[in-house]
Amino acid sequence: MKKSIILFSALAGLFSACQTKTAEQTADSLATAPDTVNKNSKACYAYIKNRDTVSLSYTIAGNAIAGQLSYNLFEKDKNSGTVAGVIKGDTIIADYTASGEGTTSVRQVAFLKKGDQLLEGYGDSEDKGGKTVFKNLQALKFGGSIDLSATDCK
């Protein structure tokens, strides 16, 4: 009986020592591993249907985005400009500063990331200080109208 207790204790000690070494090796390898999170990455999306084209390209820095957005919808004024905003979870909320037909305007835009698509958000909006904003971000509906698909950046 005494031999089995000693044998069991020796096996438990050996097992414990192996576990500690593995944990140390894991901690060391994580400390020296290169950072795999791309802090500044670029993403590009496009919507092309019939005679309508929408393109969005942006750079991500932390949870902030900045880039270009262009709408070319059939029988409507073409406009293009810059977007600047934040990513909250899987949703982009940004200000779109657009120029079209000789005027510049600022409006809030929202996109929901779903797989390799960005679904444009829509909902009630209002003018606040010369900028068109959504009345209630939580009430936005996404998809069905303009769904952009991931594309190669040029």
60 and 95 share one domain: yes
Tally the domains of the chain. Answer: 2
48 and 105 share one domain: yes
Separation of alpha carbons 117 and 115, rounded Å? 6
140 and 114 share one domain: yes
81 and 134 share one domain: yes
27 and 51 share one domain: no
25 and 61 share one domain: no
Query: At 26, which helix (H) or strand (E)?
Result: helix 2-32
62 and 127 share one domain: yes
19 and 70 share one domain: no
What mean pLDDT is predicted for residues 135-146?
91
Q: Which of 122, 120, 114 is nearest to 139 (CA)?
A: 122
84 and 122 share one domain: yes
Q: Which domain holds residue 19?
A: 1-33
Query: Residue for token digits 């909320």?
Result: 93
Q: What is the pLDDT of residue 102?
A: 77
Q: Which of 96, 129, 128 is nearest to 111 (CA)?
A: 96
62 and 95 share one domain: yes
117 and 44 share one domain: yes
Confidence tier at 39 by pLDDT (50, 70, 90):
low
Give the model confidence (pLDDT) of 90-121 as tens digits.
999 999 999 867 788 999 999 999 999 999 99
108 and 89 share one domain: yes
Strand partners, 44: 57
